Amino acid sequence: MLKIYGIKNCNSMKKAFDLLNELELPYEFHDYKKQGIDADTVKNWLNQLGAELVLNKKGTTWKKLTEQEQQRALSSEEELIHALTTYTSLIKRPMIDFGQGFLVGFNEDNIRALK
């Protein structure tokens, strides 16, 4: 079963949910606004995908951080994990765990390929 991580009210998440339902692909949803996200999961994402894929620098949460907060987040893996677990909106959405890897961000073709 797929596991999709994100925030319920995000537009990218809504598109992903709609497509997964259309394709009748069962999934478990982890809402990290309500449930949080643990450091080990974030560390795994960073190790497998890299910070550029995991960290959402285009969103308002990143832009609202001061330049010092942004620099501290980027100063080490430990600081980045702290930032991502503290400000979960910094994680790109959706994050879909399909067992053999991850899809990051909404891409209709990539999601359809999971069928």
- Residues of the chain above pLDDT 70, percent: 100
pLDDT digits (tens, 9 = 90+) for 59-101: 999 999 999 999 999 999 999 999 999 999 999 999 999 999 9
Predicted TM-score of the model (pTM): 0.92
What pLDDT sits at residue 57? 96
Question: Which residues form the domain of 16?
Answer: 2-112
Average pLDDT of the chain to the nearest whole number:
96
User: Which residues are designated catalytic?
Assistant: 10
Count how many domains the chain has: 1
Query: Residues 39-52: what's their mean pLDDT?
Result: 96
- Quote the CA–CA distance of 84 and 65 in Å, as a whole number: 12
Provide, for the chain, the percentages of residues in helix, strand and coil under a 3-state DSSP scheme, each rounded to the nearest 5.
50, 15, 35
E strands, the chain, are 2-6, 27-31, 95-97, 102-104
pLDDT band at 109 (very low <50, low <70, confident <90, very high): very high
- Quote the CA–CA distance of 15 and 106 in Å, as a whole number: 7
Alpha-carbon 99 to chain mean position: 16
Answer yes or no: is pLDDT of 54 > 90: yes
By the 8 A CB rule, do 94 and 106 touch?
Answer: yes
By the 8 A CB rule, do 106 and 12 touch?
Answer: yes
What pLDDT sits at residue 115? 85
> What's 49's domain CATH number?
3.40.30.10
